[in-house]
Amino acid sequence: MKSDLGPFEADRIYQGDALELMEEIPSGSVDLIVTDPPFAIDFRAQRMNYNRTGRHVLDGYREVSPDDYADFTRTWVDEAYRVLSPSGSLYLFSGWNRLKEVLCSLDASGFVTLNHIIWKYQFGVYTRKKYVTSHYHVLYAVKNPRNYTFNKVEHYPEDVWVINREYWKGKQKTPTKLPRELVGKILRFSSNPGDLVLDPFLGSGTVAVVSRELGRHFLGFEIVPEYYEFAKQRLKETLLRE
């Protein structure tokens, strides 16, 4: 792990705006970035067609205006490129609706996109006049296509991953959360024990939690205070289990 993280400490999460906090990370200090940023869609976090009880879903979801999304994405992707080590990698989750802006930002920042992984999950929001969306793009990009970590933990690693969303029935939850199985798969393929993993849009904290469990160091940012406290509590519970 890189020892110099500027004002930050490894194995901690911070509440604040990723666009501001990423500027304070020293260049080349992160081994892997795994993140699920806002998608700039009309996302109503508590709506019933997600088949969940609204009172269990934390308020405060912060969306980005569609008019601002290209600039927002380019800004943080530029910073992601800067803070990654020369052999660093990025896994960026994206819906189909803003995929063009995300791909253009990756290219313009200097990343080389190696794969468009498709994460297929078990349900989407009901539709009447179009196909139900039940997948996300996971863009796998590197700084140097001749020097990056890729542990072939599966004999035939395909680019379509069928992994169910997690049900947290009767539990408090954030509106969106990555399954632990999905994050664990990414970490095993693209990092090693002792590496530093960054999630600038932490949400429920799954990237930090799984990094801890798999012996990776982590750093995370979350702008919504309620989500930050939720992620901090999950990390505390992880520490108590160790």
The pLDDT of residue 118 is: 98
The pLDDT of residue 31 is: 98
Q: Answer whether 241's CB lies under 8 Å from 58's CB.
A: no
Enumerate residues 6+ apart whose C-beta is below 8 A from 88.
Answer: 28, 30, 31, 32, 33, 142, 143, 148
CATH number at 182 reads 3.40.50.150
DSSP class of residue 196? E
Lowest mean pLDDT among 31-35, 38-42, 102-106, 108-112: 38-42
Q: What is the pLDDT of residues 80-91, one digit of tens each?
A: 999 999 999 999
Give the chain's domain count.
1
d(CA 42, CA 82): 31
Q: Which domain range does residue 171 map to?
A: 29-198
What are the two backbone dihedrals, phi and then psi, of residue 174, each rounded to the nearest 5 degrees? -90, 160
The pLDDT of residue 170 is: 43
Q: Which residue has the higher pLDDT, 125 or 153?
A: 153
Q: What is the pLDDT of residues 137-154, one digit of tens each?
A: 999 999 999 999 999 999
What are the two backbone dihedrals, phi and then psi, of residue 53, each rounded to the nearest 5 degrees? -80, 125
Asked if the structure places residue 151 within a domain, the reply is yes
Q: For residue 169, name the pLDDT band (cuts at 50, 70, 90).
A: low
Asked if the structure places residue 236 within a domain, the reply is no
Asked if the structure places residue 115 within a domain, the reply is yes
The pLDDT of residue 168 is: 55
Q: Which residues pair with 99 in a beta bridge?
A: none
Asked if the structure places residue 127 within a domain, the reply is yes
pLDDT at 50 over 50: no
Asked if the structure places residue 212 within a domain, the reply is no
Enumerate residues 6+ apart whose C-beta is below 8 A from 63.
Answer: 38, 39, 40, 41, 43
Asked if the structure places residue 94 within a domain, the reply is yes
The pLDDT of residue 41 is: 55
Asked if the structure places residue 138 within a domain, the reply is yes
Asked if the structure places residue 72 within a domain, the reply is yes
Q: Which two tokens stand for residue 197?
A: 């993993």
Q: Which residues of 145-181 are buried (b: 16+ CB within 10 A; e: fewer)?
A: eeebbeeeeeeeeeeebebebeeeeeeebbbbbbbee
Q: What is the pLDDT of residues 189-241, one digit of tens each?
A: 999 999 999 999 999 999 999 999 999 999 999 999 999 999 999 999 988 78
